[in-house]
A and B are shown apart, each in its own frame.
Chain A
């Protein structure tokens, strides 16, 4: 398929996950802030920006980080390519570029959601009914994923969408771990909230019961082979799709992107969770770096052939990291 179309679908996958998972993170942050002790608000919301690598972008708004400014920034911030509104718009634009090749319902669903958000008074939603807004975003994106799963032909385009989605989800799960990790300083502390954000609380309980150990959370969110939001699960599924895409006429040996994901995946599969947790911030950093490297490699291998220009200025998570 045309490189440009492959890139469009890759980004549609990434942005759809970004929209949903940003809503999840906001949901859990807001719940925590309701339970938090007085005085932790600024560190909580500031910490969230750090975790999403958006502290510089936010600084440009000149606002102070608090329970109003940060959600506003993350939901419909003007200059924020990490915002939900931006992400939903990006899904729509990327689908529009390949519209003729998509199931009609998929385009319609993405377009309808984009228009729906544009017609809502989001400031009011955040004031009066934030949980409903976050739930709405999650539901709409889940509908989109459902249509992708049920109606999309299993061609290259579909695989690029999945690779983008899995890689973004892996990144987001790392960020959830970071949020918890910083929570000791910032005031989260409740791994239950993190797990709920990942829709993994029940699953965790079945495996680790009522543990509140970091090791167990790390094992679950980073290393589980069965939980669909664990970083390992996401990396392995991305690698699976990539393996099929890499089978091109004239290809010789694994691509660099495959090597990176392969090493990352097996590192997580075989790593000792106690060791990983011993220096969690550094290890999470390393995982994120590897995901970014893999993304850049994919772009070089599939999208930017013969001097083409990337479709999106930021090939990695906004904030350049």
Chain B
């Protein structure tokens, strides 16, 4: 029998599984008990089984910074992260609210009156100077105003155990395929303990995504719109997800060269001739989407696709120009956008953020750079982030210089004492910081996928969870509420 949790310490952090050293939270009792009675050999066996599943299915991701980008087998910890039904109810409400407000903001900005900007809720110069703003998208509407068809809103739990939004991702958020694969592997590797919890399923995502994509088809599409997934190709780090989602939805995976725009209509080159395309789930960044309009040298895009969108013959999901909304310098204004567009108080709070283009705030930040986290506004994947308490003098000096040179493009936040969770490390178990990326779909309605990708910073003490920088993951279990369990039982009974 392993002494897996005997030496487990919370070290002053909010722990997902333990309320104090040696005191397990009720939700985790069954799980901790089960893992505790596993022998070392059995634990190792399950870990190997998990590795085999991921390896044989080729579920990999790319780690940059090494020679040429190495493909690693996807890392998933065997201990899942559990979210109770009541915790989830709050998160779900908050996420749906936030994504609704972001959609309203973007729709208003590109197609509407720009009311929030006109009324000074967000400074106009900030919006227009955003890296993500695209004047080419002005006047280009998405049906149902669903510009953020897929959103990934990163959530953290602070030292007090409160959920907070860390950042929004509404351009090209990825990771859902790992959520689905994690669940598939967990059910195979620890079926017994999985069955003892009433976990909300996630495997309906393919259908949910396809429904959302179909719902934003242009009116010209008719009853059965043709949806495709547009990928940059096999060398893209998220290619696995592109192929996976196309397969889950049963739609064609295409590259730029498979599409042609003729007379403002997008079509696929097939062996039966040209087949019209109505909705493009494009996993290519704005800059590379259309060489006629954006980067001229892009070989990945489809020349003329923007003209087809403008003519109302194709819908691009996610919409072009969403980067304004997930610009980290706009992030501090999102709670006000929620209040403005929805007349509601934000359910989930932001992390306190300092605006560095404000001279006073900037001075205060530069004075205590070693205590704060600074982030470049337009990056993703955790790149460019400087965590003050962990940075070298040289890194701090560079951050100060960058901020002074280009304050509009940096923000600073207090270091959030991210919650930790027991993670299997080197045959034992230790606390590691984690976050959560839930996925939200917008179509006819806003739907939040139960759970999301829990990302774990694997090195001891690290706060960087991104997989491209060596992070790991956990399966995320959202438990059913009593009402949902009762409904399920009633359904099963009715079927018999």
Contact = CB atoms under 8 A, between A and B. Distances in A.
B260 interface: yes
A96 B271 contact: no
Given A305-B274, A306-B262, A3 B269 contact: yes
6 contacts: A1-B270, A2-B258, A4-B255, A6-B271, A100-B243, A305-B270
Interface residues of A, number: 21
A302 B273 CA distance: 8
Contacts of B253: 100
Interface string B237-262: 00000010011000011110110101
Contacts of A160: 271
Nearest to B268: A2
A97 B274 CA distance: 20
B260 A307 contact: yes
Contact of A248 (B243, B254, B257, B271): B271
Contacts of B270: 1-3, 305
Given A2-B254, A4-B255, 11 more contacts: A2-B252, A2-B270, A3-B258, A4-B257, A4-B258, A100-B247, A100-B253, A302-B271, A306-B274, A308-B257, A308-B260
Interface string A141-174: 0000000000000001000100000000000000
Nearest to B275: A2
Nearest to A304: B269
Interface string B119-151: 000000000000000000000000000000000
B401 interface: no
Contacts of B257: 4, 308-309
B268 A249 contact: no
Contacts of A302: 271
Interface in B214-244: 234, 243
A250 interface: yes
A303 B271 CA distance: 7
A1 B271 contact: yes
A245 B247 contact: no
Interface in A237-251: 245, 248-250
Given A2-B252, A96-B234, A308 B269 contact: yes
A245 B271 contact: yes
B272 interface: yes
CB-based closest 8 A-B pairs: A3-B269, A248-B272, A305-B269, A6-B271, A302-B271, A306-B260, A100-B243, A2-B258
Residue with the greatest number of chain A CB neighbours at <10 A, chosen from B253, B257, B268, B272: B272
Interface in B263-313: 267-274
Given A2-B252, A96-B234, A100-B253, A249 B258 contact: no
A156 B271 contact: yes
A151 B268 CA distance: 28
Nearest to A307: B260
Contacts of B246: 100
Contacts of A248: 271-273
Contact of A4 (B269, B272, B274): B269
A1 B253 CA distance: 11
A245 B268 CA distance: 18
Interface in B413-458: none
Contacts of A245: 271
B243 A2 contact: no
Nearest to A100: B243
A160 B271 CA distance: 10
A302 B258 CA distance: 13
Contacts of A306: 260, 262, 267, 269, 274
A250 to B, nearest CB: 7
Given A2-B254, A100-B253, A306-B260, A249 B269 contact: no
